[in-house]
Structure 1
Amino acid sequence: MPSHAPTPAPTNGHVSHWFDGPPVPRPPLPGSRDADICIVGAGYTGLWTAYYLKQADPSLRIVVLEARFAGFGASGRNGGWLSGLVPGDRERMARQYGRDAVVAWQRALNDAVDEVIDVAARENIDAGIVKGGTLEIARNPAQATRLAAAADAESRWGVDGVATLTAGESAQRIRLAGVLAAYHNPHCARIQPASLARGLADTVQRLGVDLYERSPATEIGPGGVATPWGTVRAPIVLRATEGFTARLPGLRRRWLPMNSSMIATEPIPQRIWEDIGWQGRETLGDTAHGFFYAQRTVDDRIAIGGRSVPYRFGSRLDRDGQVPRRTITRLRQTLHSILPQVADVPIAHGWCGVLAVPRDWEATVDFDPSSGLGWAGGYVGHGVTATNRAARTLTDLVLGRSSALTELPWVGHRSRGWEPEPLRWIGVRGMYLAYQAADWHEFRGSAGTSPIAVIADRIAGRPH
């Protein structure tokens, strides 16, 4: 007789699906000590920076401090898009810094995709990397208009290889429901993000970097970093705290911790994959205002993400990735709307995390030689690749090396702070409610972008 046992509820939180259970943490800082460079944060930015600094000068005494464990933040929770996406608005940055500088920035990010792949191979980091590019789709006329404009913009900014696809051509890659048009950008690879973070952590330790987990920074300033277990005294201190920056003294309004959520299915049977396709392991996204992002995982699941509760009052953070159950339901509905073939495949896991958003939605890299303080971040959700270029740039700045990277437009860029509460919460909450309304309007026949979204973009200062 057939079984009618209820489907188990998805695992909720526990950081993310990308970790096979909680990793065994490294020891905390054993007491006060001296170093040449102290890096706060063992996500991609901090780990890549330690890697390039140690490559440049093996004699450097480098300490990395991490509040929980390497990859605990966005580096171990993201959608796994190693893409050339710019963490900001190219048009706005061009008005401020010149078109040539922004074209160079875009090319540097595209090049970084291959650099990450090369380093992973050289250092034996198995991050499930497949460079299949990105497939962007449109499912209504308004989305199709934006998609065409986005494909044209990629060409104008010197992104080579972008191909516009008909619905039929898109289906040859992935058989999705309701696609009107699509384009393929080759500058992206699917990765297992936590594997990359943990592999980088092991690599920098092997190179001689001291990495201490369970060692939260309680004070960061010129000359050192204080923790509950002691102080690291160092003439150079680099902050790589991304979405957790608002928790640090004096930085609550510097970058807003924006929330993003994901779900992952159980492994999908081969007979269903034969119907879906997706043999190229492209990353997948759409041009809705409340967009989704997805990948076919190393173990043949589908992981898909999007916004849910975009911001928590007072810049509060999630509890180890726990996500509202309504978010899991909403993401499941999105998945089933584009891939009805998986309607009977259970959802295994739901989780969330935060990314850092500056007030003008532009990332930054900076170093002040007079104080010895440096930082990088504010990647607005496009940090998997950008962290690599930011780290190489920060390395050149710290070592006083003038290079093409130190001339890129995000170096030294400053954003004004976010508004105080409750204006911050009201504004972000209102922006995403407006985007939901705009998507509803467009799916019901609006030929062009909903004016609701246009107004929300202008008020928020968000790229569009």
Structure 2
Amino acid sequence: MTAAANPVLPRTLNEPAPFRPFWLAQALTRDPGPAPVPLQGEATADVCIVGGGFTGLWTAIQLKQAQPELDVLIIEKDLCGAGASGRNGGCLLTWSSKFFTLQRLYGEAEACRLVQASEDAVYQIASFCKAHGVDADVRLDGTLYTATNDAQKGMMNPVMQALAERGISSWTQWDALEVQRHAGSAAHQEGWFSPAAGSLQPGLLVRGLARVARQMGVRIHEHTPMLSVLEHHPPQVIVPGGRITAGKVVLAMNAWMAGSFAQFARSIAIVSSDMIITEPRDCLLEHTGLDHGTAVMDSRTFVYYYRSTPDGRIMLGKGGNTFAWGGRMLPSFDQPSAYQEQLHKALRRMFPAWHDVPLAASWNGASDRSVTGLPFFGHLNGHPHIVYGFGYSGNGVGPSYMGGQILAALVRGEDNVWTRSGLVKGPLGFFPPEPVRYLGSLAVRDAIRRKEMAEDHGCKPRALDNWLARFAAAAGKADKA
């Protein structure tokens, strides 16, 4: 049986250089790494991992840590980090704000375990980087979830109370003055702070993970797209220059899974997250009060999120802008953001002192939004030797470490808390078929925009917009991204 995948052939000498988002471009400038070596001919491996982003690399590294003799091979259609791993906001977050969703899906005990595991992942990533010399600008300066209008006030209170009642809360409520001072903006009216979070430079992290994986003996073939998977025993991965026969195959393609495997076409919605970053202004950053690595986000459905960088910049982003039809990868996902002006306007509104600071770059990328707002894992078509994991829904920097734990445990056939988790039951829900999914997503997105604009101006939203906005919450999109 053949599982088809969309071919993405390597770039020829006559083609222009691909667009690189700010983080990845900066990382490649600092350390371009070895020249890509596409795989040619026949190859074998104990484990073949498809995808050289956070999930694939953490899986490879954790497999080698547990079983150094394993022959692990990674193929990546572009460069490691060219997908979401090298272009996200770099906010190192947890699943604590998703407690109610976790509880509803997996039960009380597992929800508590996953919240604590997601916080542990933050510290494990920082410890790994320190131990292996990965200079990814990791700053464990926490996160602030805030309210920026009256309608958002108190939205976080129920989940914070639930966490506290179960003894798993790392959060402290701050008043408006304290939030504004730490977040560097008078736009915030209240907030909750957790130290179990922070920020990092994702391009540097993903390229650093690739370096460490190579040092551990992992073979990495960039510019090697998967054309198809043959669900044989053992499985085979077909690439333009040949094939890999592997004892186990790991599909770590994230948003590309929907367009590559028909059974996942309705498991996720592909939606952009758009970002801008300023030119550096060290003195102005210190004056603003953002000379730290705290990740800040508001309580909108599609949140505004921002953080500073060690070299004196502000990065600001917002999800939920461009939706793709049928899980397709749009060309606009690999270009400067079409929402640059709107984001710049939001940045100037939040930080008036930065009004005249020019932007260094804008970019966006495809986010794999699942129905639950959480990733899911499993065996492809029940095949015992082909596993997958994706659906991080805009929060993958920290949780991808857990994704590596899950996939490594599945590959090794372990019986533990990860392989018994509800996360390993595959997708827990599906979006409607097209055109309902696409048209419905646009209708809900636009209703949310109108609703939140009214709330920003202290007005009561229209009843229809309130009603439509509830569909986003039902689809898990109201969780913190």
Question: TM-score w.r.t. structure 2 length?
Answer: 0.87
Pairwise CA distance, 1:268? 1.5
> Hey, what's the Cα distance between the residues in 2 that align with 1:454 and 1:151?
25
Could you say which residue in structure 2 is the equivalent of 1:440? 453
CA displacement, residues 354-396 of structure 1 (integer Å, 9 cap, x when unaligned): 1111233331122478531101110111111111011112212
Q: Is the 8 A contact 2:448 2:468 kept in 1?
A: no
* Equivalent residue pairs, number: 449
Could you say which residue in structure 1 is the equivalent of 2:236? 224
Change (3 A) 1:202 1:453: farther
- For structure 1, the residue ranges without an aligned partner over 5 or more in a row are 1-12
The one of 190, 193, 204 aligned to 2:199: 190
Deviates more, 1:38-47 or 1:425-434: 425-434
Could you say which residue in structure 2 is the equivalent of 1:9? none
Q: Is the 8 A contact 1:221 1:373 kept in 2?
A: no
Q: Show the 5 A alignment for 1:63-462.
A: 63-85=73-95, 89-156=98-165, 158-222=167-231, 223-250=235-262, 251-270=264-283, 272-307=284-319, 309-319=321-331, 321-325=334-338, 327-367=339-379, 370-446=383-459, 452-453=465-466, 455-458=468-471, 461-462=474-475
Change (3 A) 1:97 1:85: closer
Change (3 A) 1:165 1:214: same
> Which SS does the other structure have where 1:355 is aligned?
strand
> Which SS does the other structure have where 1:439 is aligned?
helix
> Hey, what's the Cα distance between the residues in 1 that align with 2:287 and 2:275?
24
> Hey, what's the Cα distance between the residues in 1 that align with 2:405 and 2:463?
40
Change (3 A) 1:449 1:66: farther
Deviates more, 1:18-27 or 1:60-69: 18-27
> Hey, what's the Cα distance between the residues in 2 that align with 1:146 and 1:342?
29
The one of 21, 29, 49 aligned to 1:16: 21
Runs of 4+ with >6 A deviation: 447-451
> Hey, what's the Cα distance between the residues in 2 that align with 1:95 and 1:160?
18
Pairwise CA distance, 1:450? 7.8
> Hey, what's the Cα distance between the residues in 2 that align with 1:148 and 1:445?
21
Pairwise CA distance, 1:316? 2.9
Change (3 A) 1:417 1:170: closer
> Hey, what's the Cα distance between the residues in 2 that align with 1:150 and 1:454?
22
CA displacement, residues 26-56 of structure 1 (integer Å, 9 cap, x when unaligned): 1111222111111100000000000011111
Q: Is the 8 A contact 2:410 2:419 kept in 1?
A: yes
Counterpart amino acid of residue 200 in structure 2:
I
Deviates more, 1:453-462 or 1:406-415: 453-462
Q: Is the 8 A contact 1:254 1:416 kept in 2?
A: yes
CA displacement, residues 124-172 of structure 1 (integer Å, 9 cap, x when unaligned): 1000001000012212111113143454354356543311111111133
The one of 64, 84, 94 aligned to 1:54: 64
Q: Is the 8 A contact 1:289 1:438 kept in 2?
A: no
Q: Is the 8 A contact 2:160 2:169 kept in 1?
A: no
Counterpart amino acid of residue 43 in structure 2:
R
> Hey, what's the Cα distance between the residues in 1 that align with 2:390 and 2:424?
11
> Hey, what's the Cα distance between the residues in 1 that align with 2:439 and 2:249?
35
Q: Is the 8 A contact 1:177 1:340 kept in 2?
A: no
Counterpart amino acid of residue 22 in structure 2:
H
Change (3 A) 1:401 1:249: closer
CA displacement, residues 81-124 of structure 1 (integer Å, 9 cap, x when unaligned): 111136x9532442343111111011111101000111111111
Change (3 A) 1:274 1:390: closer
> Which SS does the other structure have where 2:155 is aligned?
helix
Q: Is the 8 A contact 2:268 2:327 kept in 1?
A: no
> Which SS does the other structure have where 1:426 is aligned?
helix
Q: Is the 8 A contact 1:162 1:184 kept in 2?
A: yes
Q: Is the 8 A contact 1:173 1:279 kept in 2?
A: no
> Hey, what's the Cα distance between the residues in 1 that align with 2:209 and 2:399?
15
Question: TM-score w.r.t. structure 1 length?
Answer: 0.90
Deviates more, 1:403-412 or 1:191-200: 403-412
Q: Structure with the greater relative contact order (CA < 8 A, sep ≥ 6): 1 or 2?
A: 1
Pairwise CA distance, 1:444? 2.3
> Which SS does the other structure have where 2:316 is aligned?
strand
Change (3 A) 1:274 1:459: closer
Q: Is the 8 A contact 1:77 1:353 kept in 2?
A: yes
Change (3 A) 1:292 1:58: same
Change (3 A) 1:269 1:115: closer
